[in-house]
Amino acid sequence: MNLFIKCVVIFTAPFITSVCLANDDLGLLDSLLARGLIAPSDYQEQKQLLEKSTKNKSDPSTTKISVAKRIDTSDVSILNDIYLLKSEQIILASNDQTSNDLIHDKSHSGHSENHFAGPYIVLTNEWKRASVKVDGEKISKSESAPSFGLGYTYGLSPNYTLGLKLSGDFKSGEYGAGEVGGSEKKVVEKHHYSVAVEPGYVVNPQLLVFGILAYHTALAEIEGGTESVRMKGVGYGIGFKHSIADHLFLMGELQRVDYGTKTIDGSTVKPSSTVGAIGLGYHF
């Protein structure tokens, strides 16, 4: 059996040699040495022969003897082992190159805008728990109403954003309704708008969480009165955006709004509200 293998090796040696030389046979010798399939002394000898044959293009007879001796002393009894080792080398080299390419791409993409950067529009429904102090007495009102938002998110880095948003209500609401000084009073809110600054953090490519610091303004009236006064207030809260499809995202917010004190029809009025909102947005 050993005689048969040697004969096959001798007659196929020129073909094997040409393949090895074309694909850096020194790398193959390194693999054989690492796997213990060739003795260190034989490794040095074969390395010198291969380097010499590569430079001088030695005759086939010398190469046949060299390859046969290497396979015989290395106890490599199956020619396919050689091709297996070469295939593994090629795969490892390919993986190394792929890893280098990924690292290279990441180093460039680190300065690009993150997934949430750019302009957007969002339609929401708000659930508002509002209250107002009228001449020191507190009355309240809970209601829901649709609203809209137009915004732009700046990608400061792959993980941090800064958003600007303009919001408005589609219909008028109420700060509160109830008995004040023995009579029923209702404080109405009209033409409510807000401008918000929203610093954010990208948790993952689908989720952005952000803080809210907003300026609010609205007209306030006492139902049945004659005055309409512009109220101004500050809002603060938290929110999130979650991508659900290409360009589409789900948004949620929770915000507390405190207004200043104004006098309307002789009554001192100070509104406040807690607002929760859920909406569907489109990212351009």
3-state secondary structure of 65: helix
Look at residue 157 in the predicted model and tell me its pLDDT. 92
What ranges do the domains of the chain cover? 2-109, 118-283
Q: Return contacts of 65-68, CB within 8 angstroms, 24+ apart.
A: 67/9, 67/13, 67/16, 67/17, 68/6, 68/9, 68/10, 68/13
Note if the pTM is more than 0.85: no
Is-contact 46 8, C-beta < 8 A? no
The position carrying tokens 């809209």 is: 148
Whole-number Å distance between alpha carbons of 254 and 267 = 30
- Tens-place pLDDT, residues 16-58: 444 444 345 677 767 677 766 677 777 777 777 777 766 665 4
- Considering the segment(s) 118-283 as one domain, its CATH architecture is Beta Barrel (2.40)
Q: DSSP letter string over 149-186? A: EEEEEEESSSSEEEEEEEEEESS-EEEEEEEETTEEEE
Can you give the pLDDT at residue 50?
72
Note the pLDDT of residue 16: 45
Mean pLDDT lowest for which of 17-26, 153-162, 245-254?
17-26
- Please check the confidence at residue 75 and state whether its pLDDT lies above 50: no
Closest C-alpha to 49, from 74, 26, 19: 26
